[in-house]
Amino acid sequence: MSDTIKHLLKAAVAAGFLAAATAALANAELNKAAPAFDALGADGKPLKLDGYKGKTVVLEWTNHECPFVAKHYDSGNIPNLQKDAAGKGVVWLQVLSSAPGKQGHVDGATAQKLNGSRKAAPTATVLDPDGKIGKLYGAQTTPHIFIVNAAGQLVYKGGIDSIPTADKNDLPKAENYVSAALAAISAGKPVEKANTRPYGCSIKYAG
């Protein structure tokens, strides 16, 4: 086999791996239908995104061992957002995409216990140990937030706020993108900053 043919074969294989990697981590598009999913909740009950049609849904990727996540839970920021959202009829789903054996992976009972100790109030906690839902949305970090409107369209994706640190002292100075997005949706207005940069720990996917 000539060196040229060997080179072409290597290039083709490399291109194939790149295409596979790109396909593996999708990128949910704004103002399009949010990717549907079926999953198991931490309470052992099946749930699906379509089951919440007609309501605004927040998807929050989380990992309790990530210091950026700890910032928002220990300060009460995310629990307060969850409670405020629930009071307005918004569905809040935590999503756990850490793979078994990796940072942040817990079973359903432990996830519920963690929420109790942190005074968290999500509508439900979605178990995604194989990372299928995370990759479907292109979730990159914990936290990473996606918001789906009542019509089932993705209207926000990105960071929770404007200051990408693990320091609780930065919270009062930060612009909270999630509360602003929910306020706009509630008022029937478009989300002004609909695509922001997420920050935090990388999601610990399998593989």
24-37 pLDDT, tens digit each: 456 799 999 999 99
Kindly state whether residue 10 falls inside one of the protein's structural domains.
no
Is pLDDT of 201 > 50? yes
* Longest CA pairwise span in the chain (Å): 69
Which pLDDT score is estimated for 172?
A: 97
Q: Which residue range is the domain that position 103 belongs to?
A: 27-202
pLDDT tens-digit profile of 108-125?
Answer: 999 999 999 999 999 999
Residue 182 lies in a domain: yes
In a domain, 95, yes or no: yes
As a whole number, the mean pLDDT across the chain is 90
| Amino acid making up residue 31 | N
* Residue 76 resides in a domain: yes
Residue 144 lies in a domain: yes
Q: Which of 44, 54, 48, 20 is nearest to 35 (CA)?
A: 48
Looking at this protein, which amino acid is placed at residue 43? D
Q: How far apart are CA 58 and CA 148, in angstroms?
A: 6
Number of domains the chain is built from: 1
pLDDT of 181 strictly over 50: yes
Q: How would residue 91 be classed by pLDDT, with cut points 50, 70 and 90?
A: very high
Of 173, 152, 171, 150, the residue nearest 78 (C-alpha):
171
* The three-state (H, E, C) secondary structure of the chain, written as one string: CCHHHHHHHHHHHHHHHHHHHHHHCCCCCCCCECCCCEEEECCCCEEEHHHHCCCCEEEEECCCCCHHHHHHHHCCHHHHHHHHHHHCCCEEEEEECCCCCCCCCCCHHHHHHHHHHCCCCCCEEEECCCCHHHHHHCCCEECEEEEECCCCEEEEEECCECCCCCCHHHHHHCCEHHHHHHHHHHCCCCCCCCECCCCCEECCCCC
Task: Assess contact for 61 and 88: CB atoms under 8 A.
Answer: no
Q: Looking at residue 50, which CATH number applies to its domain?
A: 3.40.30.10
pLDDT reported for residue 207: 77
pLDDT at 66: 98
State the average pLDDT over residues 45-65.
97
Asked, for residue 81, whether it belongs to a domain, the answer is yes
Look at residue 15 in the predicted model and tell me its pLDDT: 34
Rounded (10°) angle between helices 177-186 and 77-87:
10
Q: Cβ–Cβ contacts within 10 Å for residue 189, how many?
A: 9
pLDDT value of position 27: 77
Mean of pLDDT values over 135-145:
98
- As a whole number, mean pLDDT of residues 47-54 equals 96
Average pLDDT over residues 169-197: 97
Q: What integer is the mean pLDDT of 64-83?
A: 98
| CB count in 10 Å sphere of residue 81 | 22
- Say whether pLDDT at 17 is over 60: no
Ranking 10-19, 118-127, 128-137 by mean pLDDT, the lowest is 10-19
Find the mean pLDDT for residues 94-115: 98
Report pLDDT for 25: 52
Q: Is the pLDDT of residue 143 over 90?
A: yes
